[in-house]
Structure 1
């Protein structure tokens, strides 16, 4: 069901490890070629293109591209009380964590009359993409909206694919989550066309759309399939993006003391997202690997989306990786840079502190990825495909800009004038130095 990679006795460099570890077979560049005409169509025809593309890809032609306020209110009124209570708890915890992330402005006095300040300013408008294909993700509404709100963003637009069963509107639980968070600008648009709408804006073509359907945003965030990822790549530069999120992934670093049932359940839970999801176990215990292998068939058979899970576990992106010892295990997970990394070892907290590349780290047997997906308070929009080597998960910082403010008086500038001129002349940019001299009649 799941393949094995035996790295015992193979001292590999991080680069070599990256080449042998399992990854999904994705072609974002090829997807970009496919979605480029779609995005141009939205840019050219606005709402008309969005309706045509929804009919083509989602099987429904939305009457309302912008979700009416009444539909948001109705979705919240009809929300199952248990789901509402769970979402409210998640909102409270996620808001608490993200409110604490807001950085303080800085003021540095370098000398009398010489001051540099750093101000943190929110972007003006953001577009938040919420997937709606194989699964429904109201939790992604929570994870995208709250950091933007806590950063102080004044204008937020959420978009999610239209659903046949909901009359061309996004899934009602997604609409209810938006209403819970006070978001009233919500669109029934998915895929690359939704990213184009957010990045370029879209004019309306029917009376209910108005002259302007959607104003362009400054930043687009949110996970999606490879076509959404390709679309985000294409608009980067026109807008900022959070990351090129690929298929979700879990890596579990476990030793002989780990509970095989917990490990098997966690591998399956991540594979449930879709057939290209990655589930990777890294262990120095053959006994644990064998026990997990023995348990997986029954766990997979007993879950609702068993076919999807089985495909993901059998794919090239999933594997059990056998290592010599914990040291090699750490080298493997650091080279892999998982979106989600669980550490189920002795002294798990100390081991977790030695991890250098992961989107989020889940410490111990009672901190499963599912906790982070919904209730931990952390964010579940995380870097995938090894991007954790240089990228962070979504947070308040994703919606903030650091602006430096420089203020020197005449005396403070005069003390540096000759040094500024020296560097300017050395760089053969004499006018730079002359701009300083001009202030002192030199």
Structure 2
């Protein structure tokens, strides 16, 4: 990558706000053509079940399955994948799984209740979902880490059954993905993907059970299908491209920062990598590191396009302004590569995950730190949170009035209901008022 191909901005520029908006602009889904295809697939699966799923799977993944039974992996096959893993891979997977489990145990909510002086009891009952669907990308873009990050919190929440779908284009199976499914306690695995897999999970077929919620990343057809079935089932989020925002005081090794920016850029050409620093000379040093290190990367082509199209190196006045810009961006991954990251954390209002200090590479969070790597993208950290145990639990209110409580609150409800001209509401409450 030749010099000056990465966008450089300065917060002191008059049109900085406009340029930042332009840099961040992203339409996640979806064009009209994609919508038409997805709607056709959803309707076919809803109407014809297994037959349609098999038909689309054979067409899109170049398979020759005759029935859904041909597309289901047995639990023995999953266990075999785990047992046949090279020792180093199995150990890494087990370490990551254990750390993810321990972290998510801390998130688990319990039911609670309290009793008022007159004997009225109020509370909340927390219940896990019955069944969830986990979408896992397949083929060359296989992510065993995503299996752990999606399945482990569901298990911790107490979900009774986890159904995983993973496409196997041209019959290509990823052993690590199957091993992760075995390790995470996934109950059933179907080798299907795309909109047809989302439809099967959302509506149920003769073979694929209908789930309560669908989680996990996918391509534009998967994202469009998830959006379309929302309401029939819950979904985790509509995820955009991966993002990293690094705030650096200029004292971290520029090679480290360049590689941290690469770590997201290598996901795909639409991924976004941004550096904020008050040190202009350091920004130049990071740019030099980028030019030096890029030719050494396996995914050089993807990184180069991502950096050219969507990256930026931004000079800010100071770290306080860096935090203002950070909150405007609301990044998926935020690295605070500074001397005292804890001093900056109180200023962070919007970020999916915050990586604190020079030694905390975002990549550790992707695999084995423990917190979830399924994070809000495209500025949605303003109102969304990382995937967690709470996404697999439901809360029901508990209300039990004593005779005295029903009498007193009946008077209050009566007044409010008659104010809304809802007479049956009022009279229902009034029947319980002590004469």
Tell me the SS of whatever aligns to 1:439: coil
Instruction: Specify every segment of 5 or more residues in structure 1 that has no aligned partner in the other structure, as ranges.
Output: 203-211
Which residue matches 2:317? 324
Which residue matches 1:171? 174
Displacement after TM superposition at 1:194 (Å): 1.4
Displacement after TM superposition at 1:70 (Å): 3.4
Tell me the SS of whatever aligns to 1:321: strand
Which residue matches 1:158? 164
CA distance in 1, matches of 2:64, 2:401: 59
CA distance in 1, matches of 2:96, 2:65: 30
CA distance in 2, matches of 1:41, 1:147: 32
Which residue matches 2:429? 436
Match of 2:277 among 274, 283, 290: 283
Distance change (3 Å), C-alpha of 1:58 and 1:353: farther
Asked whether 1:358 is paired with 2:361, we answer no
Distance change (3 Å), C-alpha of 1:101 and 1:412: same
Distance change (3 Å), C-alpha of 1:96 and 1:236: same
Report if aligned partners of 2:30, 2:224 keep a CA contact under 8 Å in 1.
Answer: yes
Instruction: Specify every segment of 5 or more residues in structure 2 that has no aligned partner in the other structure, as ranges.
Output: none
Report if aligned partners of 2:406, 2:433 keep a CA contact under 8 Å in 1.
Answer: no
CA distance in 1, matches of 2:57, 2:292: 39
Displacement after TM superposition at 1:391 (Å): 0.7
Tell me the SS of whatever aligns to 2:101: helix
Asked whether 1:235 is paired with 2:241, we answer no
Which residue matches 1:394? 387
1:87-118 CA-partner distances (Å, limit 9, x unpaired): 00001100001111101222122332111111
TM-score by length of 1: 0.91
Asked whether 1:187 is paired with 2:216, we answer no
CA distance in 2, matches of 1:402, 1:12: 44
Which residue matches 1:209? none
Report if aligned partners of 2:161, 2:187 keep a CA contact under 8 Å in 1.
Answer: no
Match of 1:338 among 328, 331, 342: 331
CA distance in 2, matches of 1:297, 1:370: 21
Displacement after TM superposition at 1:44 (Å): 2.4
Tell me the SS of whatever aligns to 2:126: strand
Which residue matches 1:313? 307
Match of 1:97 among 93, 100, 103: 103
| Bigger mean CA offset, 190-199 vs 32-41 | 32-41
Which residue matches 1:259? 253
Which residue matches 1:403? 396
Quote the RMSD (CA, aligned, Å).
2.0
CA distance in 1, matches of 2:289, 2:152: 38
Which residue matches 2:410? 417
Tell me the SS of whatever aligns to 1:28: coil
CA distance in 1, matches of 2:171, 2:410: 70
CA distance in 2, matches of 1:24, 1:437: 55
Asked whether 1:148 is paired with 2:142, we answer no
Report if aligned partners of 2:133, 2:214 keep a CA contact under 8 Å in 1.
Answer: yes
